[in-house]
Amino acid sequence: MTSFATHRRKVHDTALPPHRRLSALRTCLTGFSPYGFRATYHHLCRSAEIPQDLEQDPGALVRAVEELDAARALWLTEQAGWESRRRAQKGAGVRAPAPPPPTRSLWCPDPEFHPVAPLPDVMPRLMSAPRAGDLSVCPLCGVARGTTPLHDGYRLHRLCAGCGLSLGWRDDGFSQGALEAREARWKLLWSRAV
């Protein structure tokens, strides 16, 4: 597997056709996507204003990958600090580790409903958020808010009404209609048609 940095360079490479540069951005998202792949992709399309016709604004891809890279750098710094603390713990004979930093991803199951602030602004809150569970207070917004239900085809999610983060879910059986509607909408988002 190639690295995030390799694909980041491809996004910057103006000698490549725009669709290849977009593909490189999507590959970067497979390695780091703080809101989940789909919601992070939609966030970057919105924040960098990536047009449907990539020829109109090829610089949008660079803006998107740089926002993603800045957020990833914050997470890597946190991860490196934990790794060095863990090595010290092992050297001291501590076999029950302190938990690693929170995952680099808190899932937004609706790709169109996610925090709108730039990723580097959200990452510090995301990294200090409590681990998954049925949360009564949104770790990104920091306040108790009303929730919005979302059926993703498999589960019924409680989404933060402010930022779209999943605050908990329950199995709700399979819903073919919800799944089909979700996938049809995703096809439009994937091609930046909406």
Q: Which long-range contacts (CB under 8 A, 24 or more apart) does 5-11 make?
A: 8/65, 8/69, 11/61, 11/62, 11/64, 11/65
Please tell me the least confidently modeled range out of 18-22, 80-84, 127-131. Answer: 127-131
Residue 135 has pLDDT above 70, yes or no: no
5-30, pLDDT tens digit by residue? 999 999 999 999 999 999 999 999 99
Residue 95 has pLDDT above 70, yes or no: yes
The whole-number pLDDT of residue 1 equals 47
Please indicate whether residue 166 or residue 146 has the higher confidence score (pLDDT).
166
Closest CA to 21 of 31, 8, 30: 8
Assign 145 a pLDDT band (cuts: 50, 70, 90).
Answer: low
Report pTM: 0.79
